[in-house]
Amino acid sequence: MYGSMQSVGHTVDYFVPRTRKLIVFYVMPRINSIPNMVRVYRDGKLHKEQCVPSSTNIVLYYLLWWYHHTMFLFRYFSSTERLVILAGHPVALFGMRIVKLFRQATYAYWIGDYFPPVHWSLIAFEKLKKYYHDRVPLTYYLSDRINRVMNSRVLHTPARRTIMWGVKPPPTRKKAHITNPFRMLFVGVVRPSQGIEDVLGCLRTLPGVHLSILGSCEPKLFSKYQHIIRAYGLEKRIQFPNRFIPNDELVQEAKKCHVGIALYETGTHTATHYTDPGKVKTYIEFGLPVIMTDTSLIAGYIKKYSAGEVVNDPVSIPDALGRIRRDYAKYQAGVAAFARHFTYDRYYQMSFVEFEGV
């Protein structure tokens, strides 16, 4: 299976104690120039950890990804062992017919995104995903919207069902009285479509509010944001190291924050409309109420449990912040209720039940 260094979804945490042998492949973002890594678990304990090469060159990046994925299957599993390959990208499915000639492998495809056909490359990519989707025996979807796109209707069977990200219960955050500075948090890879520029614009009218941007972006985009920060006079209120932040460091930084920000473009032309953004549930795990745009279906759960505020445009951000600051205890209770619904061990036990029969 594949893992994330920031533990989005906690799938590794779920499977480690439930498998005899678990191989987890961590594929890092191409722009970070960080090697990929494999971890080998046996009977619930970490047995081995090894870095493997990656590349910023797009062709070599995917070639090395596929090569090491295939080598792991033959290196760590014998021809007599039954195994499940839980993939989230077509790269991991290349050559599966050949692999099944030599290994007792059952493929499962967990589709985490859908890209509307706005460019020929995205059209080709979605056709490739559909090709494998129709040939893999177990297929899961990160949202009902992806489920519907792939099947023309929402399926809920053991072999075809929606499985959203699970969460770990957040720590108790006792902040009955919010004192300055009130700090917002953004985590993850920084892209132009994630509303950072809008948030920076809002901060000009919110002198008591700070922002931590904990993630990395392309050099040109980073330079653009630095120029905006200087132009708005926000240098002392913005933390933006522009680097990958390990999870343990991220947890410590999140303790200094009060609200998570997840702003996206809205509309059916965006990929976020169809998926379950990991950023939102990362904030929930930190015990932070969320301010997000009404983009994906997860916004409905934020509203249902009062785990934050859903806004339609950047102009609404100051008012949303004000409501959260005035009744922070209410939103903390909402975060806890949201987390109980998606607690990963219970949620995945009901969702991945088909694996037990492989």
Task: Tell me the domain boundaries of the chain.
Answer: 8-166+344-357, 182-341
| Structure-token match 């190291």, residue found | 241
Question: What pLDDT score does 34 carry?
Answer: 85
The two domains 8-166+344-357 and 182-341 share their CATH topology (first three levels equal): yes
Kindly give, in sequence order, each residue whose CB lies less than 8 Å from that of residue 248, ignoring residues fewer than 6 positions away.
none
CA distance 17 to 220: 43
DSSP-based three-state secondary structure for 50: strand
In whole angstroms, give the CA distance from residue 44 to residue 296.
35
Predicted confidence at residue 7, as pLDDT, reads 66
pLDDT of residue 199: 92
Query: What band does 175 get if pLDDT is binned at 50, 70 and 90?
Result: low
Query: Quick one: pLDDT at residue 174?
Result: 56
Other beta carbons less than 10 A from residue 299's beta carbon: 21
Does domain 8-166+344-357 match CATH 3.90.25?
Answer: no
Name the band, by pLDDT with cuts 50, 70 and 90, for residue 246: confident
What's the whole-number mean pLDDT along residues 119-123? Answer: 91
Nearest to 3 by CA among 20, 27, 34, 36: 27
CATH superfamily of domain region 182-341: Glycogen Phosphorylase B; (3.40.50.2000)
Identify the band that residue 4 occupies on the pLDDT scale cut at 50, 70 and 90: confident
User: What is the pTM assigned to this prediction?
Assistant: 0.87
* Mean pLDDT for the stretch of residues 67-79: 96
